[in-house]
Amino acid sequence: MNEILNYFNQLYPSAHCELLYTKDYELLLAVMLSAQTTDKRVNQVTTILFHTYPTLEDLRDASIEDIINIIRPLGTWSRKAQNIHDIASALLEQSHGVVPNDRTFLEGLNGVGHKTANVVLNNLFGEPCIAVDTHVARVSTRLGLAKQSDNVKQIESKLMKKFPKDQWGRLHHQLVLFGRYHCKASKPQCDSCQLQSMCCWYKKQYQKAKKASC
Ligand code: SF4
């Protein structure tokens, strides 16, 4: 596993979350909004959303229709708008307007699952977590760190067993960046990748190409 860590540290020495936020709840909402869309699109939308509604109270009191008009580019806008309202209300009523370092509380919020809680706990509190999104899952299976048939919980558990705990937080960001910009879903940049020799996906493609040329 050292080979992977060394390579990622070389590629992304200061890997961090690419979602933009200045307040704790803004990160929570941004991660919730990022389901089934890109961080880039979320950043475009939240820039407007958090400027229009600069406090939790403003978000709680905004009309769902007005929020939908802002977040429409993200898809599933109706559910996400309701989640924004519900999360703002829950934070104000149950947590003094603060995002707590409390997984049970976070996972009890509408629209917040295990992965979102992991990202929030990792970024806000430095908790050792590996959130498995589509990029992390793809890179993990290609590198043989997990099986194609594994679900996200199984992938997370395998990654946590294979890598030292003090690397989990940074590794999560590095896996996301590697999947987003290097080991892309289509056309991964294998020619420039230093993990070829240990990559199951690359070996399979190489063997297929070799057979085809015989
Ligand atoms: Fe991804 Fe290709 Fe590198 Fe394998 S060799 S990890 S598929 S970029």
| CA–CA dist 181, 75 (Å, integer) | 23
Q: Is the beta carbon of 143 within 6 A of some atom in ligand 1?
A: yes
Res 205: pLDDT: 82
CB of 189 closer than 8 Å to CB of 149 = no
Active-site residue numbers? 115, 133
Q: Which of 125, 120, 119, 127 is nearest to 166 (CA)?
A: 127
Q: Is the beta carbon of 145 within 6 A of some atom in ligand 1?
A: no
Res 127: pLDDT: 94
Q: How far is the CA of 171 from the centre of ligand 1 (A)?
A: 16
Indicate the pLDDT class of residue 149, thresholds 50, 70 and 90: very high
Kindly report the pTM of this predicted structure.
0.89
pLDDT digits (tens, 9 = 90+) for 82-97: 999 999 999 999 999 9
Res 75: pLDDT: 85
Please, what is the angle between helix 24-33 and helix 114-125, to 10°? 150
Q: How far is the CA of 135 from the centre of ligand 1 (A)?
A: 12
Mean pLDDT, the chain, as a whole number?
A: 94
What are the phi and psi torsion angles at 132 (to 5°)? Answer: -100, 105
CA count, 13 A, side-chain hemisphere, 113: 9
| CA–CA dist 119, 130 (Å, integer) | 8
pLDDT digits (tens, 9 = 90+) for 16-30: 999 999 999 999 999
Indicate the pLDDT class of residue 204, thresholds 50, 70 and 90: confident
